[in-house]
Structure 1
């Protein structure tokens, strides 16, 4: 069965700064359900990216209600990024939601691996500790970009809220990132209790870990229960209290360039070692030419990726 897509009959042609400002002004007092309905009717290529946290689950339920009211299949397909380190409870929940709402579920894992054992054989046993940015790129950023390319995604519904703080404190209902991807944040004005009340009222299935004291559930190796008085997402990255985002909502081009630069440096180090050079960097490669080539590759990649937002 082909995945449903949003109607394009009244699609907004482009989200330039002026249009975006007007859209957010129009949605300033809208309910989450109204924002979702607006997105379904006006934004083509609409999907929902979700790790099945409470806010994402509430949005999925609202999409289901709208779909039933219109007597249509679930209107916004789901994208789930399987890092290979999710709790078993999260994986079970993903499939329970797929069944309950008859929602198309697209799962994307890190390139070339299907489980944690294969990931660690390729990248090391504790990459999340040794190089967080590379880890985030491999398990979230690259799979997400691959999902967008594969599925033709132009816009996503997210589970971000202002009350989660940090970079999310000033969220608007609709944003556009550096790649041109439209991000719809229907529950941006709700607090944690608002979301939990909706979940309970609507009978939405949720992660049983929440009943054990967790509030934001990510990978098992980095998620802990928040302490009394700590913020909702404080337990998301146990070893890094300053971290607030996994990479999906950071500058994609910057993360891509940083990852590719590290890969090139690793390749050069391996080449140096194979030649028997004593120190990395003592190769016969003309570094000025190499750096020029890097810049050219970065620029080419950026233009290529920008086409995703066309």
Structure 2
């Protein structure tokens, strides 16, 4: 879906993965970025080559680990072009929004970091209320809302894709409601680097994530600025700085996603224990090493190949019958 406001980055040069033949051997190359075709006249619309090798990423992470959240955000804001923050307005994301607003006040003329919100159409009403309160609190932050293709409401989603798809075909639901809109946002906005709210203390697959990593599928740099903060640290910041937050937090919800797959967390449980409770699942496909989007496409390709093989076999049998006749 179209973003709700025009981004201040729309005139920025988009970056794309490249192969740098002068970089270290392929086994050591993690990712590379460059602007569009360079101009001989030295146009400001082209960016210098940025190659991120594994040793370089290790070095960056060593430095970032020693920084405060504020300094991490200042650093990546200066380092990476086309930087956005992807958020579902959880506590970590809200802290990052507030810190970035304070950094922005130091230099109001500098480009701001826009927000990307994936509206699955199944968020809690309390979440939508929070989105409105965040917009009111931080009016200078552009928010881009992406919804499932061809649907503006849950009713339209169910008419197009079926009722309770999140139960009957969970992986397909993740792709339609979350991963495809995210990929669309990346393409339309020219995202090169993305801030997330992931923290090690959230448990699950997040317990060893670094501050900075490169998504193997998209080549996009992901930065987790609050990676080493605890839930208590995040909540204390929210209270101390009077940051708007989801009122469901006060009802035992420590991590809030879609209403159909989120429940309160008991004392002593992991912070994300309320997400997909009772299922062998901790991520929706957006942050998986191999996303459900890729798995879905592979499955579709496999089915198409099987159908083609069956059709060819049928034709071959029919030809044999004709020859025999």
TM-score relative to the length of structure 2: 0.78
Match of 1:119 in 2: 157
Q: Specify the SS of the correspondent of 2:232.
A: helix
What are the equivalent positions in structure 2 for 1:70-89 lying under 5 Å apart? 70-72=107-109, 75-89=112-126
Alpha-carbon distance in structure 1 between the residues aligned to 2:131 and 2:154? 18
Alignment of 1:288-307 (within 5 A): none
Name the count of aligned residue pairs.
276
1:91 pairs with 125, 128, 145, which one? 128
Report the Cα offset of residue 228 of structure 1.
Answer: 2.3
Which runs of 5 or more residues in structure 2 are unaligned?
A: 14-34, 36-43, 315-325
Residues 86 and 116, structure 2, Cα contact 8 Å, conserved in 1: yes
Distance 1:227 1:262, change over 3 A: same
Cα offset, 1:95, TM superposition: 2.2
Q: CA 1:177/1:206 → structure 2, altered by over 3 Å: closer, same or farther? A: same
For 2:278 and 2:111, locate their aligned partners in 1 and report how far apart those are by CA, in whole Å: 38
> Whose helix fraction is larger, Structure 1's or Structure 2's?
1
Matches within 5 A, 1:53-72: 53-72=90-109
Gaps of 5+ in 1: 269-279, 289-310
Deviation, structure 1 residue 283: 9.1
C-alpha distance in structure 2 between counterparts of 1:153 and 1:202, whole Å: 29
Partner residue of 1:286 out of 298, 308, 312: 312
Contact 1:64–1:74 (8 Å) recurs in 2: no
CA 1:161–1:120: 2 relative to 1, 3 Å: same
Q: In structure 2, what is the equivalent of residue 227 of structure 1?
A: 266
- Show the 5 A alignment for 1:1-310: 2-5=6-9, 13-72=50-109, 75-102=112-139, 103-178=141-216, 179-240=218-279, 242-251=280-289, 255-263=292-300, 285-286=311-312
Distance 1:55 1:29, change over 3 A: same
Secondary structure in 2 aligned to 1:80? strand
The change in CA–CA distance for 1:193 and 1:265 in structure 2 (over 3 A counts) is same
- Report how far residue 92 of structure 1 moved: 1.5
Matched-pair contact (CA < 8 Å) for 1:81–1:144: yes
> How many angstroms apart in 1 are the aligned matches of 2:143 and 2:68?
25
Residues 62-97 of structure 1, C-alpha deviations (whole Å, 9 max, x = no match):
000000111236711000000010011111211221
Contact 2:198 2:224 survives alignment (8 Å): yes
- Verify the 8 A CA contact 2:174 2:292 in the aligned structure 1: no
Task: Tell me the CA shift for residue 267 of structure 1.
Answer: 8.1
Give 1:153 deviation, angstroms.
0.5
Cα gap change, 1:17/1:267 in structure 2, threshold over 3 Å: closer, same or farther?
A: closer
Gap change, CA 1:157 and 1:257, over 3 Å in 2: closer
For 2:239 and 2:94, locate their aligned partners in 1 and report how far apart those are by CA, in whole Å: 11
Change (3 A) 1:53 1:11: farther
* TM-score normalized with structure 1 length: 0.81
* SS of residue paired to 2:284: coil
When Rg is computed on C-alpha atoms for both structures, the one with the higher figure is 2
1:74–1:104: 8 Å Cα contact kept in structure 2?
Answer: no
